[in-house]
Chains A and B, each alone.
Chain A
Amino acid sequence: MIGNIFYHLRTNLRLTAGLVMFSLIVLFMLLGPMMVDVRQARPLSTFPSQPPGPDYPFGTDDQGRNLFAAAVVGVPMTLRVGLIAGAVGVGVGTILGFLSGYLGGRVDTLIRGTVDTLLTVPGLVVLISIASIIREAISVEIMALVVALLAWMWPTRTIRAQVLSMREQPYVQMAKLNGVGTWEIIWRELMPNLLPYLAVSFVGSVSAAILASIGLEAIGLGPQNEPTVGMTIYWSIQFNSLIRGLWWWWGVPIFFIVFLFVSLFLISAGLDQIANPRLRRVA
């Protein structure tokens, strides 16, 4: 098992690069609080509009936040939104996808119909409506659940498709012939086949959820008092940082977003290579 992991890391450059990049972010989250006073993530705690320098590595914003401290506090929040929403999305999607694909019949019609209908609804509109209704009370966790509301449909649809093709496999037929029960077939026979796919799906959902949450925050619908990555962008837009040449203000959050997305993409693509050996270049 351990040897297997090292084998994949050695041959799968994308996965390795993605994991290294992600580890750097985690390292930043862990070590950051030791390098800076996180209270400086609040407004009026430092000198405003300072360019990056020895005192403020990422500079400060117009309202006197230390952007390094804001990143130390905000990046984990954004990641948490992504992880919660991704987990809820893939979790719900897995359950519904399995029910729909394996049981078929009316259950399938109902679930698939609902998903297909909801998929045509523009997600951002729904998210904006919901987020603006509960704007006052919004916290990081609630934000995650709001994003999760629309994060389960694609996993449902794709997992259903996987299950549909798997359930016709001869070994499933054989398990039925051997009198293995429906739930045992789903959990013990099908689930292990789907694990790599679920991992890929999870990483994809996390990125989608992060993107959705940053989108909401950037238009001011996130947790108002938290320096999440999206909120930093929101404030930098509000204060016209682009025109005023405060490049570090919008540059820092964008750097973190890009870095995070590239790492998640590489992990996802790398996992895909494991799940689907035909994509491997090295045998």
Chain B
Amino acid sequence: MTKPVLELQDLRVYFNTRRGIVKAADGINLQLYPGERFGLVGESGSGKTTTALAILRMIKPPGRIVGGRVILDNDIDLLSLTDEQMRQVRLKRIAMIPQGAMNSLNPVLRIKEQMILTMRTHGAEGSNGHMLKRVEGLLASVGLQPNVANLYPHELSGGMKQRVCIAMAISMRPQVILADEPTSALDVVVQRRIMQTLRTLQEQLGAAVILVGHDMGLMAQFVDRLGVMYGGKLVEVGTVEEIFTDPKHPYTQLLISSIPSLHRKRNFQTIPGMPLSLHEPPSGCLFHPRCPQAMAHCSQIVPREIEVTPGRKVLCLLYDEELTPAAQREVVDDTAAS
């Protein structure tokens, strides 16, 4: 198999709050391969965006990246870079398409001004005329007219702004694109066109994409592999077919069965219980209070990553065939520490 372009190893992001430490991302392991589209789903507060921001080292206090490694291109650990080196990585090698494109553009700068400024800070050189040509080329690649370069953000529609954000993200030909719910504020028609644009560009560039979101339909259409997050942990990873047809983790199973379908008209399936509070996480497996398949030891043992088939990982005791004494000890340590 090819080497991953981006690898997260045991990434941990904790927030120090007055009510204690909140583990917003807790031991994320993930390999992203060149050209691949990876989806990260999970309910609100499950740590999707935190994980994406941690990759770019954009976690703000009281949040802190307390451990792990983010390895780009099998070579550099982003967490060990200086601030200036990290600044150069942003956009040039890892670009982000923001959640709310509506407010992500500076209201008093023309589109070309912001795009040229951003490109120049990454060492793009050339006369203003040359840069304008580049901007117009980028705008054309996302399906916008060249005259958009001269407009201010308030003169654009939501979909156009999102396209500008995509154009900006690909301007330095990054290896990885992080798309954080890029279409959440748009209607489905625009949504579809934007995702098609993103897909075409991503394929042209050969960039890998991490798509963060909770729209399972969008995920099914767009991504190759899917990771499901719950309570700051990546509880299941697999190809999109595997996850949709044969979900392993009970949370994923409930998540998939809660997707409404045109063919099966019935009451909405929901996941029982309250969403998780990370202020007072349950012991053992975080999902056990809501899990229909919970076993006695689920409240005591923290599940470890089990690779059920190659590339198919799940964080659930149901699949842990050898509950080793070591795993048991980890439980005790963990509860003692907290």
Q: CB within 8 Å of B: which residues of A?
A: 169-171, 173-181, 184, 188-189, 192-193
Chain B's closest residue to A174 (CB) is B104
Interface centre among B56, B96, B103, B118 (most CB of A within 10 A): B118
A193 touching B58, Cβ below 8 Å: no
Check B92 for interface membership: any CB of A closer than 8 A.
yes
A173 to B180: give the CA distance in the assembly, Å: 14
A175 touches B118 (CB 8 A): yes
The distance in angstroms between the C-alpha atoms of A175 and B118, with both chains bound, is: 8
> B68 at the A/B interface (Cβ < 8 Å)?
no
The distance from the CB of A2 to the nearest CB of chain B, in whole angstroms, is: 17
Q: How far is the CB of B48 from chain A (nearest CB, A)?
A: 16
6 contacts between A and B (CB under 8 A): A174-B98, A176-B90, A179-B122, A181-B87, A192-B106, A193-B107
**Bound CA span A173–B100, Å:** 11
- Is A193 touching B90 in the complex (CB atoms < 8 A)? no
CA distance A170 to B89 in the complex (A): 20
CB distance from A234 to the nearest CB of B (A): 46
Are the C-beta atoms of B87 and A179 separated by less than 8 Å? yes
| B107-A171 in contact (CB<8A) | yes
The main secondary structure of chain A at its interface with chain B is helix
Bound-state Cα–Cα, A162 to B4, Å: 44
**Given A177-B96, A177-B98, A178-B168: A189 and B121 interface contact (C-beta under 8 Å):** no
Q: Which residue on A lies nearest to B115, using beta carbons?
A: A178
Chain B window 90-109, contacts with chain A (Cβ cutoff 8 Å), 1 for yes, 0 for no: 11100110101001111111
Q: Given A171-B103, A171-B104, are A179 and B58 neighbors across the interface (CB < 8 Å)?
A: no
Given contacts A171-B107, A193-B106, A193-B108, contact A177 B117 (CB under 8 A): no
Chain B residues positioned under 8 Å from A173 (CB to CB)? 58, 98, 104
Q: Which B residues are CB-close (under 8 A) to A188?
A: 109, 117
Residue from A169, A173, A179 with most neighbouring chain B CB atoms (10 Å): A179
Taking a contact as CB atoms under 8 Å apart, the answer to whether B121 and A180 are in contact is yes
Q: Are B121 and A170 in contact (CB under 8 A)?
A: no
Q: Is the CB of A169 within 8 A of B103?
A: yes
Given contacts A170-B100, A179-B87, 19 further A-B contacts (CB under 8 A): A169-B103, A170-B103, A171-B103, A171-B104, A173-B104, A175-B118, A177-B58, A177-B91, A178-B91, A179-B91, A179-B92, A179-B122, A180-B121, A188-B117, A189-B106, A189-B109, A189-B117, A193-B106, A193-B108
Report, as a range, how many residues of chain B touch the other chain.
20 to 34
CA distance A180 to B106 in the complex (A): 13
CB-CB under 8 A from B100, the residues of chain A are 170
- Complex Cα spacing A208 to B95, Å: 48
Bound-state CA distance A200–B121 (Å) is 31
Q: Which of A176, A177, A180, A188 has most chain B Cβ within 10 Å?
A: A177
B107 and A181: CB pair below 8 A? no
Residues of chain A lying within 8 A (CB to CB) of residue B165: 174
Residue from the set B92, B100, B104, B122 with the largest chain A CB neighbour count within 10 Å: B104
Q: How far is the CB of A197 from chain B (nearest CB, A)?
A: 11
Given A170-B98, A177-B56, A177-B96: A184 in contact with B121 (beta carbons within 8 A): yes
Within 8 A of A (CB), among B261-281: none
| Contact B108–A192 (Cβ < 8 Å) | yes
Question: In the assembled complex, how far is the CB of residue B80 from the closest CB belonging to chain A, in whole angstroms?
Answer: 17
B84 → chain A closest CB, angstroms: 8
B88 within 8 A of A: yes
- CA A173 to CA B91, docked complex, whole Å: 13
Closest 8 pairs (CB-CB, A-B): A179-B90, A170-B103, A174-B104, A178-B91, A179-B87, A171-B106, A192-B108, A179-B91
Q: Are B58 and A176 in contact (CB under 8 A)?
A: yes
Q: How far is the CA of A169 from the CA of B102 in the complex (A)?
A: 11
Known A-B contacts A184-B117, A192-B108; A177 and B90 likewise in contact (beta carbons under 8 Å) = yes
B88 & A179 in contact (Cβ 8 Å cutoff) = yes
What is the minimal beta-carbon distance from B46 to any residue of chain A, in angstroms? Answer: 21
User: Which of A169, A170, A192: most chain B Cβ within 10 A?
Assistant: A170
Q: Within residues 92 to 151 of chain B, which ones have a CB less than 8 A from any CB in chain A?
A: 92, 95-96, 98, 100, 103-109, 114, 117-118, 121-122
